[in-house]
Structure 1
């Protein structure tokens, strides 16, 4: 067991250790840093979705709700979808893609007190397929993952809830799929956030960042239980990235990456490493694209954000 953990730790470090290089440097013919467009008044970013088949990634902008798109092989990205009210979208948070290349966008507080949509679904060409309200009046959709059934599962930071979005008979709908009230204690600040599917596809693993907990939502029974993580410190857990049995927890304002070995059913996780990230950045979430992990530099630490705005592959402190 000790040998296995040591090997895993070494592999994790090798995959994430930074290389001293300029922003224009490339690794295996690909950039190590991707440049995002920003607004003159400053932009902040949060979510990222990766389309492995097409080699594309999508980044959500908190300030305005724009959706940016980039290619794994180009350092420059483009504003793919306008914000500032486009399709009722004034802010955007978590984002992901499904096997068909459709793009799912979580709206954070976009619909609270406004009647605007809480989430959107777009075709790979950018056509609006759905703009939906989630059930409830205080819904903060934070992050989203595609389940084994092809549906999208969205976390709610304002209540211990997960919503399911799917198309039935040509009609898209958002339903309350699981409510963990009484099991997950709601605390001040951001609660449920990052979400991934367990390796055996039996459950969703969800981060509760303000208390540093991971929760398992069983996909069959919808039962909710706390993931056993021992004494691992996971406060400020934001984005989750699972690659095989390795679970990376992006701890935004803590400026740390926690790497855990997650059981295939998502019931247990053992801490392998805690590594400090670049102190000049607040990384929010990440996705794997073409064998590399892309991390979003949110700019959340700047009262008025200023460029450069970047997605990075070298997240650790130097």
Structure 2
């Protein structure tokens, strides 16, 4: 009964929110499942970035830091960048692309206690443009979004901070753009994670997964305020996807997807629905490519991951 009500709620909002093409549609010739290439010892995945212009997507591998690439029309993906120390990368988390097709990769704990890079920037051809350390000794860069200024904004799961990465005067640089210490309370587990830009481009909206809170970072001032999201449960919030006013929140180990209607300035988010996802998967981040949302099946629930390794367009429980 609850599942039926959730489905009806989703249908009811369809008249007012931007729609995604049916994830199981085959008329376009696009696959509903994309297969990732894993390692013999098992692979786990997390981030995904989509290049709408080129019709390609990138997936980050937590185990080893490899970056995989696929196209909207092909079910098979390929390893695009090697890991296991390539460019100092032993793990990778959030990933996104900018208008020039450049690929930004968050390193999670890659640099903690090692002196290795915390993030990387690559050209569409795979050329390393930058491998940078973020200011601080305990930085866990989790996810990344491109701001209206063209800079990349990375969340830090180990502190209430957002870092800005940009090409200034011919050189790539990373700065601590916002620090919400005193406003955002840190708790055990993963704090700031998924991040998107508000519809009016005035703010960033980030998820604090362990507490189930959405936060608004004003792009003009850096001021941080809590997004009013009503009484909807958002614990385990991981990836965020904004399409117009529709905000999709991927709740990884909660195995659920929450849908909210986000105000243009990102200050409020009206709950719309909560739908259970496939119980055999732990979905992490997601991106829109050619009208469909692509969800990463992380394999985080498996001690030793085993294939198939997949990106899926139909996340709902059956």
**Equivalent residues in 2 for 1:164-313 (5 A)?**
164-313=164-313
Report if the CA contact (8 A) 1:16-1:315 is conserved. no
Alignment partner of 2:13 out of 8, 13, 23: 8
1:87 aligns with 2:92: no
**Equivalent residues in 2 for 1:128-143 (5 A)?**
128-143=128-143
Shift of residue 8, structure 1, vs aligned partner:
1.8
Cα 1:95–1:131 change in 2 (3 A) is same
Shift of residue 203, structure 1, vs aligned partner:
0.1
- What is the CA–CA distance in structure 2 between the aligned matches of 1:27 and 1:280, rounded to whole Å? 27
Q: Specify the SS of the correspondent of 2:238.
A: strand
Report if the CA contact (8 A) 1:9-1:272 is conserved. no
The CA RMSD measured in Å over matched residues stands at: 1.7
Report if the CA contact (8 A) 2:294-2:313 is conserved. yes
Residue 55 of structure 1 corresponds to 55
Shift of residue 15, structure 1, vs aligned partner:
4.4
What are structure 2's unaligned runs of at least 5 residues?
Answer: 1-8
- What is the CA–CA distance in structure 2 between the aligned matches of 1:178 and 1:51, rounded to whole Å? 27
Report if the CA contact (8 A) 2:64-2:90 is conserved. yes
What are structure 1's unaligned runs of at least 5 residues?
Answer: 20-24
Report if the CA contact (8 A) 1:16-1:316 is conserved. no
Report if the CA contact (8 A) 2:18-2:246 is conserved. no
Q: TM-score, normalised by structure 2?
A: 0.94
Residue 144 of structure 2 corresponds to 144
- Provide, for residues 100-146 of structure 1, a one-character-per-residue CA deviation record: whole Å limited to 9, x for no partner: 00000000000000000000000000000000000000000000000
Length, aligned pairs only = 310
Q: Specify the SS of the correspondent of 2:239.
A: strand
Q: Which runs of 4+ in 1 moved over 2 A?
A: 4-7, 9-19
Q: Specify the SS of the correspondent of 1:30.
A: coil
Q: TM-score, normalised by structure 1?
A: 0.94
- Provide, for residues 199-223 of structure 1, a one-character-per-residue CA deviation record: whole Å limited to 9, x for no partner: 0000000000000000000000100
